[in-house]
């Protein structure tokens, strides 16, 4: 894994970082690279309310805020920013305004690497809108000032259209941190964790690869 000067992670929901990126984040922090996590919403519209349900529509944001703070702690992130947008409304925000907001954070931190969603290939409308705003903001920088952007993609058509991921990080050495990050988002991951831990015990190679390898697509700016 390349050593970075400053990493900026931008996702719309608490837990977006957990499954596909938390190992990478943990490794950067262990490398001594500062990592900032900007999270746009508190996942107010989540459908997982705990098992058995312990959250209500109104208590969920408070619970997920605490879970996000716990997850940040598990990864070692000390600069966590909650940007105050509302879950499932990100795509309806004025795009220029959103891109401008992302641009302000990028300008302040001057990261060498940004990690976000690949617009158009990230399934949830908030994911696509967040990725698009970040790309928009980076594009408006002069070429030589642009940080690298690693995107997360997982739509069913993504490999067909944008090829295979060009950056793959093996995060086996921080698997415990990754598992703790997932566990921190308890209201959202309870059911998944149970299944995952059983599969981990069986050492199923497909599951191991899915957990231990984090995949990214470097965004190619055409101009």
Partner 1 sequence: MDIVMKEQVQLALDERANKDVYIHLETTNGAYASHFDETFFSSGAYIRNAKLKYIHSKIAGNGPYRIGLKTDIGWVYAEGITHYEIDEHDRLLMAGHDFKGKLAVSLEISETPFE
* Site for partner 1, rule CB under 8 A: 45-53, 56-59, 61, 88, 123-126, 155-156, 191
Least distance CB 45 / partner 1 (angstroms): 7
Tell which residue, 66, 79, 72, has the closest CA to residue 17: 72
Taking only Cα atoms into account, the Rg of the chain, rounded to an integer number of angstroms, comes to 17
Cβ-based nearer residue to partner 1, 33 or 187: 187
Cβ-based nearer residue to partner 1, 20 or 61: 61
Distance CA(160)–CA(156), nearest Å, equals: 8
Cβ-based nearer residue to partner 1, 20 or 46: 46
Helical pair 60-75 and 22-30, crossing angle rounded to 10 deg: 40
Least distance CB 20 / partner 1 (angstroms): 14
Secondary structure (3-state) at 71: helix
Cβ-based nearer residue to partner 1, 65 or 100: 65
Least distance CB 197 / partner 1 (angstroms): 19
Phi, psi of 76 (to 5 degrees): 90, 15
Question: What tokens appear for 48 in the block?
Answer: 């997982």
Tell which residue, 100, 158, 148, has the closest CA to residue 127: 158
Cβ-based nearer residue to partner 1, 16 or 214: 16
Residue bearing tokens 């098992």: 51
Least distance CB 47 / partner 1 (angstroms): 4
Least distance CB 15 / partner 1 (angstroms): 13
């Amino acid at each position: 894994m390349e050593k970075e000067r400053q990493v900026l992670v931008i996702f719309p929901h608490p837990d977006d970082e957990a499954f596909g990126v938390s190992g990478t984040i943990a490794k950067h922090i262990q490398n001594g690279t500062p990592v900032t996590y900007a999270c746009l919403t508190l996942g107010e519209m989540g459908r997982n309310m705990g098992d058995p349900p312990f959250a209500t529509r109104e208590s969920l944001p408070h619970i997920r805020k605490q879970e996000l703070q716990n997850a940040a702690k598990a990864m070692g992130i000390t600069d966590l920013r909650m940007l105050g947008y509302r879950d499932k409304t990100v795509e309806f925000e004025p795009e220029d305004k959103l891109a401008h907001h992302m641009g302000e954070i990028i300008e302040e931190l001057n990261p060498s690497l940004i990690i976000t969603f690949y617009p158009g290939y990230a399934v949830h409308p908030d994911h696509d809108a967040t990725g698009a705003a970040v790309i928009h903001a980076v594009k408006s920088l002069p070429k030589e000032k642009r940080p690298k952007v690693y995107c997360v993609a997982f739509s069913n058509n993504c490999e067909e259209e944008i090829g295979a991921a060009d950056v793959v990080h093996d995060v086996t050495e921080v698997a415990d941190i990754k598992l703790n990050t997932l566990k921190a988002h308890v209201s959202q991951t309870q059911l998944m964790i149970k299944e995952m831990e059983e599969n981990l015990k069986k050492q199923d190679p497909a599951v191991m690869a899915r957990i231990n390898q984090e995949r990214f697509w470097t965004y190619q700016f055409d101009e």
